Amino acid sequence: MNVDDRLRRLLGGLDAGPGFEARVMERVAGLAAAAPREDLRAQFERRRALLRRRLLREAWMSSITILGLGACGGALLWRYASEIQQFATNSGQSVDPNLLIGGTAAVVGAALWFLIRRARG
Binding site for another protein (CB under 8 A): 1-4, 6-12, 14-17, 20-21, 23-24, 27-28, 31
We find the least distance from the C-beta atom of residue 32 to another protein, in angstroms, to be 8
Residue closer to another protein (CB basis): 16 or 99 = 16
Closest separation in Å from C-beta 43 to another protein: 17
- Closest to another protein by CB, 20 vs 44, is 20
Q: How far is the CB of 41 from another protein (least distance, A)?
A: 17
Interhelix angle 20-79/81-94, nearest 10 degrees = 70
Cβ closest to another protein, residue 6 vs residue 79: 6
Do the beta carbons of residue 92 and residue 100 sit within 8 Å? Answer: yes
Sort 88 into a burial class: Cβ within 10 Å, 0-12 / 13-18 / 19+.
exposed
Query: 2 or 98, CB closer to another protein?
Result: 2
Q: Rounding to the nearest 10 degrees, give the CA dihedral for residues 101, 102, 107, 109.
A: 110
- CA of residue 23 relative to chain centroid, distance: 45
